[in-house]
Chains A and B, each alone.
Chain A
Amino acid sequence: MATQDIIARSATTTASPSVRQLDEVAKLIDTTLCIGCKACQVACSEWNDLRDEVGSNVGVYDNPSDLTAESWTVMRFAEHETTDEDLEWLIRKDGCMHCEDPGCLKACPSPGAIIKYANGIVDFNQDHCIGCGYCITGCPFDVPRISKKDNKAYKCTLCSDRVAVGLEPACVKVCPTGAIVFGTKQDMKDHADWRIADLNRRGFDNAGLYDPQGVGGTHVMYVLHHADKAGLYSGLPQNPTISPMVGVWKGVAKPLAMMAVAATVLTGFFHYVRVGPNRVEDDEETHAPLASVEHYDPAERRDPRAEGERHE
């Protein structure tokens, strides 16, 4: 892992190594060049050996109709009428944004299940995942999904395995129109500036870069024709921030919880050796309702039709 030292690790209080000076990487997705061909979806599945279910058509082009544990990226299609005669088909590749300040990592209670590399990639290590779903609560972009097969959370890894050996992510390499590019974060910002200048020349006065500061910036950024109206792109949040619940966990609840853990450590240990660290479903307390978590059901798929209506 010479090129991507771990600099943050979920539920870990000891300091991470931070001596080496590594380039931050970023993926830039130019929605104005995207044709929604889904090559990135296919390449992602192919590279990561994922095959989702053959689903159904629910009346839109979006297929699979939402992110799943086996579809780490999906294209979201939105029809936006600008005038009586003119239409824009705004197509956005959805998936993990690899936040500089990752809400998922902050929320994750399992040590080392979520890690952040020095190059900016936020990665899940399913060996340590306990399937609690906190990462979903913590994510301002509603990205991670829990697999029904193994009850573990999955999402885009930014192809950390490829990046580690000097290659670009699979979706970047495959993209036929050059709508997805990859490099150092600074190079990607420069590239975006060049694209935005071209868009301005073509009459898109509000074209801009999406690198939301509410999460410290992201390592997946968008070029948008309408940077002032991110919501047009199938509900991309204009100013995403980490849920306040995650702050509680990190700031106050965690030390208190640690005390509680110490008190119940023998019980916990017994549980650990009996069923292993990842199996929590037979522990009733896990199902204690938490408003921001319990609404999530991995089986529930967003209905893109409703999605479309919302943005019209």
Chain B
Amino acid sequence: MDINRREFFKFCGVGIAASSLAALGMAPEPAFAESARHFKLANTKESRNTCPYCSVGCGLIMYSRGSGGKNVSQEIFHIEGDADHPVNRGTLCPKGAGLIDFIRSPNRLQYPQVREAGSNEWKRLSWDDALTRITRLMKDDRDANFIEKNDAGQTVNRWLTTGFLAASAASSEAGYMTHKVVRSLGILGFDNQARV
């Protein structure tokens, strides 16, 4: 042990200043069985879900606050891997493990908005106004540019001047519904993330 006298006293000095009064029985409640932290999932609602990122399709358990009763807003506050899932067996990657910050991102969109031509800002509008304005634009464009027959006189029934880029993480039900609507309009400029 290589300590000189000066260091020795410095050490004692700091020790005193650091107030170890408890050793003399003067600190409040030196409880031996105290718990540093409480388990935070003691009473939560669990929902089963699938990670929305890559296509391994890991099982998730989402924990929401509250009893599920009428007077509680159900808010997810923690997500873990589903140990029963045969692929991920409870594990997650850094993306999946951080899903709570995606759900609660400050950049989640909250309301329909419009940016008018040439403007530098978003303006909030109601769902009804948004959908009504969009369908008007769609119908005017479709009616003006729909091609029933090509130059050779063949029936082609297509609409090329409006296109649709479909999601990659939407549910199959959303995807199916989207396809059903888009094709009924005659859209061919239709693609998804499979390509990129």
CA distance A245 to B100 in the complex (A): 44
Q: Closest chain A residue to B3 by CB distance? A: A248
CA distance A78 to B26 in the complex (A): 49
Asked whether any CB of chain B lies closer than 8 Å to the CB of A227, the reply is no
Asked whether any CB of chain A lies closer than 8 Å to the CB of B10, the reply is yes
A244-B3 contact in complex given A42-B98, A46-B97, C-beta closer than 8 Å: yes
Asked whether any CB of chain A lies closer than 8 Å to the CB of B32, the reply is yes
Q: Closest chain B residue to A49 by CB distance? A: B40
Number of interface residues of A (CB under 8 A): 72
Within 8 A of A (CB), among B65-112: 78-81, 83, 88, 90-94, 96-98, 100-101
- Cβ B21 vs Cβ A161 within 8 A: no
**Residues on B with beta carbons closer than 8 Å to the beta carbon of A254:** 15, 23
A174-B39 contact in complex given A12-B23, A256-B12, A258-B24, C-beta closer than 8 Å: no
Interface segment, A184-192, A285-293, A301-309?
Answer: A285-293
- Cβ B97 vs Cβ A271 within 8 A: no
Q: Closest chain B residue to A9 by CB distance? A: B32
CA distance A293 to B38 in the complex (A): 32
Asked whether any CB of chain A lies closer than 8 Å to the CB of B165, the reply is no
- Cβ A11 vs Cβ B22 within 8 A: yes
A253-B8 contact in complex given A285-B16, A286-B18, C-beta closer than 8 Å: yes
Asked whether any CB of chain A lies closer than 8 Å to the CB of B194, the reply is no
Asked whether any CB of chain B lies closer than 8 Å to the CB of A38, the reply is yes
CA distance A16 to B33 in the complex (A): 10
Asked whether any CB of chain B lies closer than 8 Å to the CB of A257, the reply is yes
- Cβ B36 vs Cβ A174 within 8 A: no
- Cβ B1 vs Cβ A286 within 8 A: no
Interface centre among B3, B21, B101 (most CB of A within 10 A): B21
- Cβ A46 vs Cβ B1 within 8 A: no
Q: Closest chain A residue to B18 by CB distance? A: A109
CA distance A157 to B30 in the complex (A): 20
Interface centre among B13, B79, B94 (most CB of A within 10 A): B94
Number of interface residues of B (CB under 8 A): 49
A173-B80 contact in complex given A17-B32, A125-B34, A277-B27, C-beta closer than 8 Å: yes
CA distance A289 to B15 in the complex (A): 12
**Residues on A with beta carbons closer than 8 Å to the beta carbon of B38:** 161
- Cβ B32 vs Cβ A16 within 8 A: yes
**Residues on A with beta carbons closer than 8 Å to the beta carbon of B11:** 245, 248-249, 253, 290
Asked whether any CB of chain B lies closer than 8 Å to the CB of A139, the reply is no
A39-B93 contact in complex given A12-B23, A261-B21, A269-B21, C-beta closer than 8 Å: yes
**Residues on B with beta carbons closer than 8 Å to the beta carbon of A16:** 32
**Residues on B with beta carbons closer than 8 Å to the beta carbon of A290:** 7, 10-11, 14
Asked whether any CB of chain A lies closer than 8 Å to the CB of B35, the reply is yes
Please provide the 9 A-B residue pairs with the shortest distance between their CB atoms, ordered closest to farther.
Answer: A111-B22, A285-B17, A109-B18, A161-B37, A42-B97, A257-B15, A286-B17, A43-B97, A42-B94
Additional pairs, 20, CB under 8 Å, beyond known A39-B92, A46-B101: A37-B93, A37-B94, A109-B15, A110-B18, A110-B22, A111-B27, A112-B22, A112-B30, A112-B31, A123-B36, A130-B19, A174-B90, A244-B3, A248-B11, A253-B15, A256-B12, A264-B16, A271-B19, A286-B14, A288-B14
What would 6 A/B residue contacts be, using CB atoms closer than 8 Å?
Answer: A12-B23, A37-B94, A42-B98, A46-B78, A262-B24, A290-B11
